[in-house]
Amino acid sequence: MKESMALEDASVLPTYEKFPFVLDRGEGCWVWDEDGNKYLDLYGGHAVAAIGHSPVEVTAAITKQSAKLLFYSNLVYLKVRAEAAKALVDFCGEKGSQVFFCNSGAEANENAMRIARCVTNKKNVVCAEGGFHGRTAGAIAATGYKYRKGMSGLGADMIHVPFGDLAAAEQALQNDAAAFLLEPIQSVQGATTASSEYLQGLEALCKKSGALLIFDEVQTGLGRVGAPSARHAFGARPHLQTFAKALASGVPAGAVLATPEVSALVKPGALGSTFGGGPLASVAISATIKAIIDKKLTENAAEMEDLIRSTFKFPQIAEIRGRGLLLGLVLDRPSKAVRDALLAKKILVGGADDKNVIRLLPPLTVGPAEIGLLRAALEEIFASEAVAA
């Protein structure tokens, strides 16, 4: 393992804090390192492995497709692209919704903001403080200040308002606003969760001002929140939803889903992407959504949330934020030592900008047995004196 780590450290920019092992393979909720050590992955490959690691449904589909036609761009019709778009519309949208495909979450947000500016002919985007929307220029300008360090000249057309504050939103929307963009659950921040009233209030305010409401569903989409998307979970109808991460189970893919009335206003040439909606991503998207539906993973996410909420009754856990399997365990202390102790027990979890939070983003296939392993590990860790309060 040491050799592979040294090679990567020598040749890849050190922009990430990494788990201290070299990953070799994965299956379901489990991953193995080069030395054969097995880890329970409750971080889900960064919220990507929604239907589990290396799911056979997807690997079989991309193997078959790659032998048939590896790639052609949007200049041709592709049956597999049409099927992927229909699957996303049917699962997360509504009749008449349409899709723009791209390759990542940041791109999906860039394109959603572009659509909003084009169709409203307005300039500014209002964003909720604490959100994370990606690392490209527009997406990072919409993101919280911490991530903009080292980037200048951004954000002149972004207005940041406090998350949850409808009065501030109403005021900002008067300022030539094309859109209001937010994560319904601010995952990176620490699974900070909007109320239904806030999201429904934003829907009403956007309707009044003529701005488009954009939900960044890069983490909340595709069944993770115990509903097909945050739109369903919170009962609020955004004009645009953005997806990536779990969308194609690890084949790079992003998408913007537009309501029928917005779709009708998007003109030819408005957007473009060479690789977006390519055949490999398309078959992976269709296979992923089919597996989420067939295996009732949305329902499982809701059940596992209930299990966690009802059995993780530790005094050290002050609060459990989030929905479904996008959860933040808020500790009564910084979470780093506990996360390290879990890693020593070969359980992978995430941190967050809120230092007290342990983030859980497991595959939606996770079951009571794996949740039980986490619970038992936490019980042992909290009981041990090794973790300083």
Ligand X SMILES: Cc1ncc(COP(=O)(O)O)c(C=O)c1O
Task: Note whether 93 binds ligand X by CB under 6 A.
Answer: no
Shortest Cβ 332–ligand X spacing (Å): 26
Phi/psi at 158 (5° precision): -120, 140
Query: Closest separation between CB of residue 41 and ligand X, Å?
Result: 16
β-pairing, 177-182 vs 317-323, is unpaired
Burial class of residue 356, CB neighbours in 10 A (0-12, 13-18, 19+)? buried
Report the Cα–Cα distance between both ends of the chain, in Å, rounded: 33
CA 217 vs. chain centroid, Å, equals 6
Compute the least distance from the CB of residue 252 to ligand X, in Å: 8
Q: What letter does residue 251 receive in the DSSP assignment? A: B
Binding to ligand X by residue 134, rule CB under 6 A?
yes
Distance CA 198, CA 203 (A): 9
> DSSP labels for 265-288?
TPPTTS---SSTT-HHHHHHHHHH
Handedness of CA 78, 83, 86, 87 (dihedral sign): negative
Q: Which is nearer to ligand X, 352 or 374 (CB)?
A: 352
Q: Is 161 in the site for ligand X (CB under 6 A)?
A: no
Which residue's CB is nearer to ligand X, number 43 or number 312? 43
110 binds ligand X (CB under 6 A): no
* Span interacting with ligand X, options 22-30, 111-119, 182-190, 260-268, rule CB under 6 A: 182-190
Tell me: does residue 189 bind ligand X (CB under 6 A): no
Of 244 and 304, which CB lies nearer to ligand X in the complex structure?
A: 244
In the complex with ligand X, the residue whose CB is nearer, 124 or 219, is: 219
In angstroms, the Cα distances linking 283 to 85, 113, 200 are 10, 27, 34
Q: Considering the rule CB under 6 A, would residue 250 count as an interface residue with ligand X?
A: no
The nearer residue to ligand X, 64 or 355, going by C-beta atoms, is: 355
Distance, C-alpha 11 to centroid of its chain: 28
Out of 87, 125, 179, 188, point to the residue binding ligand X (CB under 6 A). 188
Residue with Cβ nearer ligand X (327 or 378): 327
Beta strands across the sheet bearing 317-323: 317-323, 326-331, 357-360
Q: How far does CA 219 lie from the centroid of its chain?
A: 2
Stretch that binds ligand X, among 102-110, 189-197, 281-289, 318-326 (CB under 6 A): 102-110
Residue 316 tokens, joined: 């050290």
Of 53 and 133, the one with the shorter C-beta distance to ligand X is: 133
Quick check: 354 binds ligand X (CB under 6 A)?
Answer: no
If one asks whether residue 111 binds ligand X (CB under 6 A), the answer comes out as no
- Applying CB under 6 A, the residues found at the interface with ligand X are 104-106, 109, 132-134, 183, 187-188, 216, 218-219, 244
